[in-house]
Amino acid sequence: MMTRLGYLLLAAWFVLLASLPFHAENYIVRIGIVIAMYSTLAYSWNVIGGFAGYPSFSTAAFFGIGAYIGGVAQHNGMPMGLAWALATLGVGFFAFSLGAILLRLRGHYFAIGSIVVVEVCRLLISSWRDVTGGGSGLNIPILKWQPDEVLAFFLWVMLVLFAVGFIINLLVDRTPLGFGLRCIRQNEEAAAMVGVNTSQYKLAGYVLSALLCGTAGAANASWVGYIDPSESFSIIMTLKVPVMVMLGGAGTLLGPALGAGGFVMLEEIFWSSYLNWNRALLGGVIVLLIFFLPGGLLKFSLKKVFARVTGFATSGAGR
Amino acid sequence: MDVAQILLNGIVLGAIYASLAVGFSLVWGVLNVINMLHGSFIVLGGYLAFFGWHFYGVHPLLLLPAIAATLFVFGYTIQYIFINKVVTAPVLTTLTLTFGLDMILYNLIVVYFSPTPRRVTLDLGTFEFFDVILPGDRLVGMVLAGLLTGLLLLVMKASKIGRAIVAVRMDRTAAELMGIRVNHIYAITFGIGALMAGSAGTVFAMVFPISVNLSGILLGKAFVVCVIGGLGSVSGALVGGLALGLIESFSGVFLGAEHALTVGFVLMLFLLLVKPTGLVGTKGYE
């Protein structure tokens, strides 16, 4: 019953976002695009971070490589749609080769390895000036339509990605892949013992967590019309996406959409009202989330939050 | 450039890197927490040194004990109030928490200290022997960084607190049964981590310009040093720091300065895969 209501709400949310160009001003449509994009990234991360519980922080690497594959292809005259497809495949291949190496690590080492990949990508792209334009960035041909049409177009593109991301999550959830990934989250050794091919499952999950990040990166690059290394491979983004998923509820089907939507709107409010303090406010949200809502908004219950607040205040150190 | 000169530059850099990373390594090794605050702690130490020197004319070396004490209390409090409550949670939780705390601290530093690069410029002259040049501030920085790291090594080996920290790292439960107050030790360890970061930041500000924007890069250096050298031990940070300093110094000359950082990171990824315990690390501490 609860889940059916949740799906209905998700569908309503999706329709609301899709209809934005017809009734909202351009500023709101822009926020809609950002929400749809982060929802895509959040659903992607959910496969490896939520289902399999692997602390992957390589989202920004996938996003940035997608942006650069798509951007460089378009810069050299490839049609937009083809460039996006190329970016998706390229990022998938990148994740496949990287995952084969990186997924041998566990816990902290995996987390560090995946963060460092973002940094290495940024440095390599910056120094590969002939192709990528280096630190001064790369211009990408923009769509020569009316501004309203461009916004509506990219909103719908991102929403399609959002929908595909949701469907991937749904399929993972209902197939043996999701079962295997959940086993890995609970206990990787035991999962291997009962016959789950952990390396294959993890690799499949990792690649699935990358594909749409690549597409979204390329689409975002086409929308913005300009890419540079520090924006494309941002450490903040790579940490923001997991936080969004945790805000909604990791490993659930509705959590990523809820978390991404909530986080982006919160960020927008902070940006517009407390420009100097927005970073601290977001940090505060993260800290509160960890302590008082560890299961995410989906598991929200006033009673539990209250108990945690009083528990936090009265207990000294340690639980 | 002369090989001796490159070697010397590498050692100076390495000593500073070791002091930057040793606190991070200790926290990671003992608490099993990746402390994303570390870079901002370093910057905070550097800024405190700069402002003390710039506005009140206090020599950074005199200010160092005060900065160290402040950072220790600060770190102890953060650990006691926040991190201790989730210290046994999975890495995603603790890492995200320290990242959230870092966003707050970073913002505070930007608002109160402004993000302008600062540097304490002490005119100490230069030393030169056989064509090898060593600026005085770098020499002081190197010696100081070495002293700090050595002091920590001494504390860990010879003091009661140090032995308790090592005991908790080896076996939390057994240490608890022996009457060690684990939460207290955790907070002290985190405090020492912050103290070392702040002191290293002071040293850093005497040699290089420091700015808030550096906090991410400094954190990255600490990662690399830890993984290269091995986690949780002072000697690991020393070996890792010197290795990174030499690598950056040599690859900077032979491959170009812009690739020096990449080489360090790539080497770290390679070591993660073939020898995750680091060059001198011991298995079982991670």
Shortest CA gap A124–chain B (Å): 7
**Torsion sign (Cα): B213, B272, B93, A318:** negative
What's the average pLDDT block by block, 10 residues per block, for chain B (286 residues)? 83 90 88 90 92 85 90 93 85 88 91 81 72 77 85 85 84 84 89 93 88 84 86 83 90 78 80 76 50
Taking one residue from A and the other from B, the number of pairs with CB-CB distance under 8 angstroms is 132
Shortest CA gap B100–chain A (Å): 4
Q: How many CA atoms lie within 13 A of B133 on its CB side?
A: 5
Shortest CA gap B1–chain A (Å): 23
**Tens of pLDDT, residue by residue, chain A (319 residues):** 567 888 899 999 999 998 888 888 888 999 999 999 999 999 999 999 989 988 899 999 999 999 999 999 998 888 888 999 999 999 999 999 999 888 888 778 888 888 888 888 888 888 888 788 777 788 888 878 888 888 889 999 999 999 999 999 999 999 999 888 988 888 888 888 888 888 899 999 999 999 999 999 999 999 988 898 888 888 888 888 998 998 888 888 999 999 999 999 988 888 888 878 888 888 898 898 888 887 778 777 777 777 777 777 666 544 4
Q: Identify the bridge partners of residue B127 per DSSP, sorted by sequence position.
A: B134
Mutate to test the interface with B, among A286, A291, A314 (most CBs of B within 10 A): A286
- Give the per-residue SS3 of A227-276: ECHHHHCCHHHHHHHHHHHHHHCCCCCCHHHHHHHHHHHHHHHHHHHCHH
Tokens of B118: 């600062």
How many Cβ atoms sit within 10 Å of the Cβ of residue A19? 12
3-state secondary structure of B134: strand
Q: Decide: A279 and A69 in contact? Cβ < 8 Å.
A: no
Position B100: which residue type? G
What is the rounded distance in angstroms from the CA atom of residue B257 to the CA atom of residue A309? 50
For the whole prediction, is pTM greater than 0.90?
no
How many Cβ atoms sit within 10 Å of the Cβ of residue B248? 23
The pLDDT assigned to B190 comes to 93
Residue B129 has phi, psi (to 5 degrees) of -140, 130
B81-110: b (≥16 Cβ within 10 Å) or e? ebbbbbbebebbbbbbbbbbbbbbbbbbbb
What is the rounded distance in angstroms from the CA atom of residue A49 to the CA atom of residue A242? 7
Determine the Cα angle at B282 with ends B280 and B286, to 5°: 115
What is the rounded distance in angstroms from the CA atom of residue A177 to the CA atom of residue A200? 10
Residue B104: which of A109, A280, A289 has the nearest Cβ?
A280
Tokens of A79: 């049609």
Residue A291: which of B85, B265, B272 has the nearest Cβ?
B85
What is the rounded distance in angstroms from the CA atom of residue A147 to the CA atom of residue B194? 50
Shortest CA gap B206–chain A (Å): 27
ipTM computed for the complex = 0.82
CA B35 to chain centre: 11
Residue of chain A whose alpha carbon sits nearest to that of B114:
A276
Chain B residues touching residue A278 (CB < 8 angstroms): 107
Q: Decide: B234 and B18 in contact? Cβ < 8 Å.
A: no
What is the rounded distance in angstroms from the CA atom of residue A3 to the CA atom of residue A173? 14
